[in-house]
Structures are given as structure tokens and as C-alpha cells.
Chains A and B, each alone.
Chain A
Amino acid sequence: MKLFTDAVIAILILTNLRLIASSRISACIYAVACQGVLLGMLPLLVGPHYLTVRACALSGATVILKGFFFPWLLLRALRSANVRREMEPLVGYTLSLMIGAVLLAAAMWFGRQLPLPVPDHSPMVLPLAMFTIMVGLFVIVSRRKALTQVLGYLVMENGIYAFGLAFALSEPLLVELGILLDAFMAVFVMGITIFHISREFDHMDTDRLSALRD
């Protein structure tokens, strides 16, 4: 079981890597979808009680929302907005990878500094959560396209979710579902906004929006 958990966590970290190294937006969306599915499986693997009704409900809702619904919504926005690639990111891809390595090191150091109240969890969950949050933030600030920034937001939310996993026992289900609902609303609204921005302006580079005047 531990081997399997380790493998899932390693793949999760690698999906983050894929997100910051890929210029193709559809590849980024699939990476985030894969991350959503694996994150949904994680509550069943981590923690002392593997298969409770609560864990199954949480995991099912997460997989459906993050693994299928959000990616579907974003792929639809991608089709309607007619962009394929993030052409000129503010930070290049090779440099992004190196920054990713630094962030991972920072996350691991940070994970070691924070002892958790729950003893029986994999030691990699906390570094994973910190790394995912930082990658999400990094993607938000270093990419130009609104769609990639939404992906960054989603990944950051995934990180917060993974952080919550470490406390899954002491955290009520309602809070977890509330966060999911918030993320759902946010992505929904952002999907519509992207569609409107790209219809109005023929592109969705957010940094050019700051030049707008009324």
C-alpha cells in the first residue's frame, strides 16, 4: 500500500512538472485532469481508515469534478477561444523547470519543518501539498493566457485539497464539499469570462487588459 501511495504522489508531482514545462494548453489541461483523478484517489490511500462512506463520497465527488468536469469545461473554452499554445510566457520553459526544482526543494524543507498532528500519513503528502500550491501560484504569475492562469488557480486549489488530506480525519466533510463548490463556481465563472474576453478582443492575453481605458 505504501509503495502504491508513493507512486501516486510521485506521479502527482510529475503532473505539476508537466504543467510548467509544456507550451501546449491542451496538454496542460490533461495534466491537470490526471492530477484531479489521482488526487481524488488519494483519500482512499492515505489515512488510517481507507474505505469509509465519507472517504468514498469525497473521493467520488473530487474525481468527477476535478478529473472530468473542469477539464471538459476548459477544453470547451479552449476550442471556442481558438488558441493552442502559450506563445510567450513571462518565464521560459527551461527556466520554469529549474524554478520548479527549487520550489520542490523548498516544499520538502518546509514539509520537514511542519510536524502534523496525524501520525499515520505518508511523509510525502505535505511536501506534495506545498509544492502543488507553489506551482499553482507560479503558473498564475508567469503565464500570459487567461486559460493557463485558470489552470494555475485549479492546481493551487488542488494543493490546498492535498493539504487538507493530512487533516482529513479532523476536518468535517462539509468544509471539504464547500471548498469544492467554491472552486466549481470559480472555474465556471472563469470559463465564461474567458469566452467573453476572447470574443471581444480576439485573444486572451491578460497583461494587455491593463492597457484598457473607458
Chain B
Amino acid sequence: MNYGRLALPVLALALAPLLPGIINRTKAVVAGRDGQPLLQLYYDLAKLVRKGGVYSRTTSWVFRAGPVVGLVSAVAVLTVLPLGGASAPVSFPGDLILMAYLLGLMRFFTVIAALDTGSAFEGMGASREVQFSALAEPVLLMALATIWLAGRNPASPVHGFLFSLSAMYSRLSLATWVRSGPALLMVAGSLLVVFLAENSRVPFDDPNTHLELTMIHEVMVLDHSGPDFAMILYGASLKLWALGALLAGLLVPVRTGNTWLDAGAVILGLFVLAVLTGVIESAMARLRLTRVPQLLVSAGFLSTFALALILWS
């Protein structure tokens, strides 16, 4: 294993809490406010870690395990996550499925920890989260399959090891964009929808709302406190980073061969993506809950169509 590559997960661990800061700052600037400091989430995490946890007597070990498993899965995702041309420390055939299901495990434990509290509101949030992610997961896998197909060279035979995230993303160059630009653009659109839906951002869920009836992610973590809540917040920002990196790695086709340049370009892309998310959140209202599945199905249509378009030509 190449130890230099360990820099990527370390960079992600250090920089991920910056993304929500950028999003909030963008929203504040668009609304004409000063807003929170960019490093607000770091302060919050430091504060929460020093506090003690409060546990209800009706909860069991599942409730305590939820945040830990969530954070560990998010960190595990980072080990297979490439940043554009910069390969991840670990890569093997099929690691994209591992990534999708590590995110699934994280969600599953958040959901059962929420159900473990026995609160009706948390059950509602859990039900919505599961419903929407059941629709978002096929979109993610379909989009990744399309990226793999777009990067493959029709002349050379297909090797199994190419079916890993790092190989997929390192083969995605400017030439790929010239060859199948429309399809990749549609994949980027569907990945953006997945990015917003999975991270509970605005058209799907409003992270600022404090009305339990309409919340999805926030309502599931209402009962967590102290270090547990810090783990949840940190895990959520890592998830934001991971899904954002999949999108930014696609949209920033900088493949110089130099790991640092490639990774730097994608990290810049991630920051731009955070600004874009802030602009979307300022410009759009949350969708009605009944409209959310429709948008997710449209994203699925988009990525399936992109796949068909690439298979066709």
C-alpha cells in the first residue's frame, strides 16, 4: 500500500466540516446577513465533545451504537473514495458497491437508533428517510455504472479491476467528456439530486427547520446529545464530502497525473459545489413530501437514460 495516498482520507477528515460552513455562509450572504463563521462546525464539535451524554431509560445499546457505527462507516467510505484522478488508499473490484452499502449501513443505524427511542416523531423521520433513500440508492449505483461505461476504452477488453471507484475516476478525462458529454452531464444532474437528497439538503429536507412534522434527518437525531451528537454531525459532514467528491470528481476532469494537483482541483470543485448548494437552498423552497419521490424517480430516469445513451453510441 502506498502511504502517500493516506493523505486523501486525512485531508477529508480535516476539511469535511468546512463544507457545511461554506453552505451556511453562502446562504447568509445571499440573504444579506453576516452569518456564522466558516469554522462554526469545528467549534460546535469541540463544544459537544466536552459535554456529557444524556440517555433515556427506554433506550437500549442500539441507541448508543447508532452514532458510533455511523461515524465508523463514514470513515470507512473515505478509504475507498478517490478525489478525481487521485486514487484512494484502498481499491478493489466492486468497491463502489461497498461504498454504497457502507452509506446504507450508516443510514440503517441512524434509523434503528431513532426507532429505539420510541418517539413517534422519530419514527416518522425514519420512515421518510428509508423511503427516499430506497429511491436514491439505485440512482447512485446507476450513475456510477454509467461513469464506468463512459470511461472504458471500447478497443481494449474489460478488466475486472477497472470496476473500482479509483480506476473509474482516473480514466475519466477531458476526452471522455468530448466523447459522451451529454450523457455525463445527465449523470452529473442525477448525482446532484442524490447528493442533495442523501444529505438532507433543501429541495428534500430543510436542515434549519425546527418543526418535527416536516423534518427528515434532523428529527431522527433529536434525542442524541453530547459526544454522540458530535459523532452524528461529523459523520454527516463526512457523508457530504464523500457524495460531493463523487460529483466533483466527475465535473472536474483535471487528470494531470500528479496526485496533489488532481486532488487539489477536486477539493476546489467541492468548495464550489458547497457554494452551489447554498445558492440552491437560498433560491428554492422545500418540496412537498409527495413530490420528493417524483424528483428522485426523474433522477433515476436521467441516469438510466444516460446509461442507454452510452451503450447506444
Binding site for B on A (CB under 8 A): 3, 6-7, 10, 13-14, 17, 21, 93-94, 97-98, 100-101, 104-105, 108, 123-124, 127
Identify the closest chain B residue to A18 (Cβ): B298
Task: Give A169 Cβ to nearest chain B Cβ, in Å.
Answer: 22
Q: Are B301 and A17 in contact (CB under 8 A)?
A: yes
Which residues on B sit within 8 Å (CB–CB) of A21? 294, 298
Tell whether B293 is near chain A: CB-to-CB under 8 Å. yes
Q: Are A97 and B298 in contact (CB under 8 A)?
A: yes
Q: Mark B174-196, 1 if CB is under 8 A from A, else 0.
A: 00001111110010000000000
> Closest 10 A-B residue pairs measured CB to CB?
A10-B182, A7-B182, A97-B297, A94-B294, A6-B182, A101-B301, A94-B297, A93-B294, A94-B293, A3-B181
Cα separation A44 to B141 with both chains bound (whole Å) = 37
Q: Is the interface of A mostly helix, strand, loop or mixed?
A: helix
Q: Are B183 and A101 in contact (CB under 8 A)?
A: no
Q: Quick one: which of B179, B180, B293, B308 has the most chain A CB within 10 A?
A: B308
B178, B300, B305: the one contacting A13 at CB < 8 Å is B305
Extra 9 A-B pairs, beta carbons < 8 Å, given A10-B305, A94-B293:
A6-B180, A6-B183, A6-B313, A10-B183, A17-B301, A94-B294, A97-B297, A101-B304, A123-B312
Cα separation A21 to B186 with both chains bound (whole Å) = 17
Q: Are B312 and A124 in contact (CB under 8 A)?
A: yes
Count of chain A to chain B residue pairs whose CB atoms are closer than 8 Å in the complex: 51
Q: Are A3 and B294 in contact (CB under 8 A)?
A: no
Cα separation A108 to B309 with both chains bound (whole Å) = 10
Cα separation A10 to B184 with both chains bound (whole Å) = 11
Task: Give B8 Cβ to nearest chain A Cβ, in Å.
Answer: 32
Cα separation A146 to B260 with both chains bound (whole Å) = 60
Cα separation A108 to B180 with both chains bound (whole Å) = 18
Binding site for A on B (CB under 8 A): 178-183, 186, 293-294, 297-298, 300-302, 304-305, 308-309, 312-313
Which residues on A sit within 8 Å (CB–CB) of B178? 3
Task: Give B131 Cβ to nearest chain A Cβ, in Å.
Answer: 12
Which residues on A sit within 8 Å (CB–CB) of B182? 3, 6-7, 10
Task: Give A201 Cβ to nearest chain B Cβ, in Å.
Answer: 30
Which residues on A sit within 8 Å (CB–CB) of B180? 6
Task: Give B284 Cβ to nearest chain A Cβ, in Å.
Answer: 16
Task: Give A104 Cβ to nearest chain B Cβ, in Å.
Answer: 7
Q: Are B308 and A105 in contact (CB under 8 A)?
A: yes
Which residues on A sit within 8 Å (CB–CB) of B312? 108, 123-124, 127
Q: Are B186 and A123 in contact (CB under 8 A)?
A: no
Identify the closest chain A residue to B186 (Cβ): A10
Q: Could you list some 19 contacts between A and B, CB below 8 A?
A: A3-B179, A6-B183, A7-B181, A10-B182, A10-B186, A10-B309, A13-B305, A14-B302, A93-B294, A94-B297, A97-B298, A97-B301, A100-B301, A104-B308, A105-B308, A108-B308, A108-B312, A124-B309, A124-B312
Cα separation A14 to B183 with both chains bound (whole Å) = 12
Cα separation A104 to B309 with both chains bound (whole Å) = 11
Task: Give B57 Cβ to nearest chain A Cβ, in Å.
Answer: 42
Which residues on A sit within 8 Å (CB–CB) of B294? 21, 93-94, 97
Cα separation A101 to B305 with both chains bound (whole Å) = 8
Which residues on B sit within 8 Å (CB–CB) of A100? 301
Q: Are B305 and A104 in contact (CB under 8 A)?
A: yes
Which residues on A sit within 8 Å (CB–CB) of B298? 17, 21, 97
Task: Give A33 Cβ to nearest chain B Cβ, in Å.
Answer: 20
Which residues on B sit within 8 Å (CB–CB) of A98? 297
Cα separation A124 to B309 with both chains bound (whole Å) = 8
A6, A101, A105: the one contacting B309 at CB < 8 Å is A6
Which residues on B sit within 8 Å (CB–CB) of A93? 294
Which residues on B sit within 8 Å (CB–CB) of A123? 312-313
Which residues on B sit within 8 Å (CB–CB) of A14? 186, 302, 305
Cα separation A124 to B111 with both chains bound (whole Å) = 43
Task: Give A77 Cβ to nearest chain B Cβ, in Å.
Answer: 27
Cα separation A14 to B304 with both chains bound (whole Å) = 12
Task: Give A143 Cβ to nearest chain B Cβ, in Å.
Answer: 16
Task: Give B146 Cβ to nearest chain A Cβ, in Å.
Answer: 13
Identify the closest chain B residue to A108 (Cβ): B308
Identify the closest chain A residue to B308 (Cβ): A108
Which residues on A sit within 8 Å (CB–CB) of B308? 104-105, 108
Cα separation A91 to B151 with both chains bound (whole Å) = 38
Q: Quick one: which of A6, A13, A100, A108 has the most chain B CB within 10 A?
A: A6
